[in-house]
Amino acid sequence: MGRITLDKVRKTFGDVEVIPPLDLTIEDGEFVVFVGPSGCGKSTLLRLIAGLEDVTSGQIRIDRQDATDLPPAKRGLAMVFQSYALYPHMSVRKNIAFPMKMAGLPQDEQDRRIEAAAKALNLTDYLDRKPGQLSGGQRQRVAIGRAIVREPAAFLFDEPLSNLDAALRVGMRLEISELHKRLATTMIYVTHDQVEAMTMADKIVVLRAGHIEQVGSPLELYNRPRNVFVAGFIGSPKMNLISGAEAEKHGAVTIGIRPEHLGISTESGLWKGVIGVSEHLGSDTFFHVTVEGLGEPLTVRASGEVSLKYGDIVWLTPNEVNLHRFNAEGLRIA
Amino acid sequence: MATKHARVAARFMISPAVLLLLGWMIVPLSMTLYFSFLRYNLLMPGMEEFTGLTNYRFFLTDPAFFAALTNTILLVGGVLLVTVVGGILLALLLDQPFFGQGIVRILVIAPFFVMPTVSALVWKNMFMNPVNGLFAHAAKALGLQPFDFLSAAPLTSIIGIVSWQWLPFATLILLTALQSLDQEQLEAAEMDGAPWIKRFWFIMLPHLARAITVVILIQTIFLLSVFAEILVTTNGGPGTASTNLTYLIYMQSLLQFDVGGGSAGGVVAIILANIVAIFLMRMIGKNLDA
């Protein structure tokens, strides 16, 4: 069981308030991703839940039990660190066994769990190696193995994939999602990469400067961002945000339109623009189009290969239904 | 060093330094070897003659030799024990954040800058002197009999003095090693349920292993040749209670004017030091590779 409740949790370092009072409930078995730009307090929040930092005020409850003042070891949580934090002088087996050894589990039970974890994570052949002899992805799996064997109430991941190369990252992303489906244990995952957040999460928590900007499922956030910040942060490439005269026509201070909701044509349309850089990805092509009077170039997605090149004149038409409107405070207008 | 040409040039460039070092070592070594086979007494100049292995037989059967050997081992071992254990404890202490950290760290390093003769004299006259020393005053203030350190426990006292000098070195090396430990490892261990003492034993101490071997290696080299501290405090006495091998060789050649015997002792010391060096290098080589 791993239901985690934060009740008016606040954290200050000296005079600096890193996390203003914050409420959040994480249901049992949920995969929750904390996402936000660097310095938004997402790692601090995770460390508060883990018990590695003391809460300045407020309460943390794990399974309805007050855990605010419990030491990290007593909270029944397991953490996977960004640097993996493997013990370099111990073999993989000893690394995975360490938390069980500290808990004083009988040896045969330890062996049984190590075997199971190694099998699940494809580490059986590497059990007697030292972490230094493993690749980045294997080290990552050892760190996860060390977390699994404790059978924790919840897993905490602190940017676990940021040290891996792009191809491995996609693979490990799938493995972690797969693991979550199989174990059905609560997982809290911190990342600055909104693609990881979108692909893995049941629930995304978008943070900025310690504030929760929006909580919701990935598609909720994508389709109905609550404010300009979430609109700009979720989605890749970013949503086009337009303010000024064009926005006022739609009764808003800022309007947003995603690249895939802009029609592109060589004959006619609403906005006339010039094609700048284009990015060909095979399945999609992204054009950066400069439109007179709209400020920054707009990003437009076209399906497949389109034969338009640098300097061509095109017309863009936004799909009215998918237009996002925001008021002067940056909040969504229905 | 990619091309053959560059390799040749490199060898050519470093050869003067290598030759200089070689000469620096080979000349005194061969002279010592040569003297060790002569009957060479400073009181009878011009009467040197070849005596074969007599000097060696004389030196090795001298009862003072075994006393000196034991004392050398005790001195090196004792100082290593005190500095490594004390160094780890001090490093752990200095690693904690506290007010005035910078100044305290400089103060801890300070003894290393005091030259051995001076520090030994300060200890002898200002601390250990049974009449005027600080320890004597402290003992008297408590109503106890002052303890005459240098005559009642000469070797232990010298171990204390030398340890005091080398503790900063060990502390400095171990502190830097401790600071290079990844904090996430300690946090991971904390999450894994390891209390402080287990984090120290399973995470910090293995991390320090390499630094500890470096401390042992470097200190052993210097501690085998401790001399000034003995000369200014006990003169090797009482009897041979605080004579080490270096001091015995000094007595042989400069107090008894027997250069031949002293040289033979020097050669014995070189051989013993090399045996120690081989063992240390093996042990440490293994530790440094890992």
ipTM of the complex: 0.80
Interface size, chain A vs chain B, as Cβ–Cβ contacts under 8 Å:
58
Q: Which CATH class is domain A4-230?
A: alpha beta
Q: Which CATH class is domain A238-326?
A: mainly beta
Cα separation, B263 vs B32, in Å, equals 5
Does B19 reside within a domain? no
Which residues in chain B have their CB less than 8 angstroms from residue A163's CB? none
Q: Name the average pLDDT for chain A.
A: 88
> Is the model's pTM score more than 0.90?
no
Contacts of residues A287-291 at CB distance under 8 Å and 24 or more positions apart, as own/partner, are: A287/A314, A289/A264, A289/A314, A289/A316, A291/A316
Report pLDDT for A203. 92
Determine whether the interchain pair A89/B182 forms a contact, defined as Cβ–Cβ distance below 8 Å.
no
Which residues in chain A have their CB less than 8 angstroms from residue B207's CB? 88-89
Q: Give B271→chain A minimum CA distance, Å.
A: 35
Q: Give A181→chain B minimum CA distance, Å.
A: 24
Q: Most B CBs within 10 Å: which of A79, A95, A105, A146, as the mutation test of the B interface? A: A79
Instruction: Give me the mean pLDDT over the B65-85 stretch.
Output: 93
Which SS3 state, helix, strand or coil, does residue A135 take?
coil
A12-38 tens-digit pLDDT: 888 888 888 889 999 998 999 999 888
**Domain range spanning residue B149?**
53-289
Cα separation, A127 vs B47, in Å, equals 73
Has residue A164 got a pLDDT over 90?
no
Report pLDDT for A282. 82
Instruction: Give me the mean pLDDT over the A71-94 stretch.
Output: 89
B189, B191, B202: residue with CB nearest A50: B191
A41-53 tens-digit pLDDT: 888 899 999 888 8
Instruction: Give me the mean pLDDT over the B191-210 stretch.
Output: 89
Does B46 reside within a domain? no
A79, A85, A103: residue with CB nearest B185: A85
Report pLDDT for B287. 66
B186 phi and psi angles, rounded to 5 deg: -70, -40
Cα separation, B36 vs B56, in Å, equals 8
Which residues in chain B have their CB less than 8 angstroms from residue A131's CB? none
Determine whether the interchain pair B193/A102 forms a contact, defined as Cβ–Cβ distance below 8 Å.
yes
Which residues in chain A have their CB less than 8 angstroms from residue B209's CB? 89
Q: For chain A, what are the domain ranges?
A: 4-230, 238-326
CATH number at residue B58: 1.10.3720.10
